[in-house]
Amino acid sequence: MIDDTAIAALQRSLSENREAKRKIQARLRQIEEEADILRAQLASFDAVIEQTENALRRVLFPGDRQTGSLTPPPAPLPERTSYSSPLLPYDDPTYGVSLAEAEAEIEAEVAKLRQNEESSNVRFNDFRIPQAATIVLREADRALHVSEIYRRMAEGGFEFRGQHQLITLAVSLSRSKRFRKVAPGTFELNPAYRAGQVA
C-alpha cells in the first residue's frame, strides 16, 4: 500500500506540472500576440515600400505606366560625335524630363512621404499609457484586446519601453480606474470614467 509520503510527492509533482503547463500556455499566448503585432508592422512597412516605389517609378519614368519594375524603358541614345562627355540619361530628350526636374520631383515626393510618416507617427509622442489608451478606446467606441490597443498606439507613435511591452500595457490598463476589463486581455473605457465620476 502506498504511504502518505508517496501520495504527497505525487500530488506535489502534479501541482508543479500543472503550474509549468499554465506558465507555458501564458507565454505562448504572449508570443502569439507579439507575432500579430509584428505582422501588422510588416504590413505597414510593405505599404510604405510600395508607396515609395510607386512614387519613384512615377518620377523616374513618367511615360512608362505599365511596367512593375524600376528598370527604365529602353530608349535609343542620340549619337555622340562632338560631345566631350556622354549625357546623363535624364538629359536625354527621349526621357522628356531634365535631370534638374527629376531631382526636384523626387525631393518633393520624398518630402511628401516624410510628412505623411511624421503626421501619422507623432500622435501619441507626448502621452502616457492611460492617456493614449483612452484616445484609442474612445475612437474605437468598443472594447479592444490589449494587442489591438498596443498596435494602434504604436501606429500613432507611442514609444513603449522595456522588453515585455504588452504585459506593461495590460498591467497599466488593469491598474487604472479609467478602464474596465470585460474579457481576458480585453478592455473598455469605464462607464464611470465616461460619466466623469472617475479621474
pLDDT digits (tens, 9 = 90+) for 148-157: 999 999 888 8
Give the residue numbers spanning the domain of 162.
125-199
Do 52 and 134 fall within a single domain?
Answer: no
What pLDDT is recorded for position 65? 56
Q: pLDDT averaged over the chain?
A: 76
Residue 79 lies inside a defined structural domain of this protein: no
User: Do 70 and 50 touch, CB atoms closer than 8 A?
Assistant: no
Structural domains of the chain, count? 2
* Residues in the chain, pLDDT under 50: 67-73, 77-92, 94-95
- Distance, in Å, from the CA atom of 23 to the CA atom of 37, rounded to the nearest integer, reads 21
What pLDDT is recorded for position 26? 87
Name the DSSP letter for residue 123.
Answer: T
Q: CA dihedral defined by 80, 83, 85, 89, rounded to 10 degrees?
A: -50
Radius of gyration of the chain from Cα atoms? 29
Q: Rounded to 5 degrees, what are φ and ψ at 183? A: -165, 170
Convert the pLDDT of each residue in 62-77 to its tens digit: 766 554 444 444 555 4
Residue 80 lies inside a defined structural domain of this protein: no
What pLDDT is recorded for position 67? 47
Where does the chain show beta strands of DSSP type E? 144-145, 179-183, 186-189
Beta-carbon contacts of residue 147 (< 8 Å; ≥ 6 apart): 33, 36, 37, 166, 185
Do 39 and 112 fall within a single domain?
Answer: yes
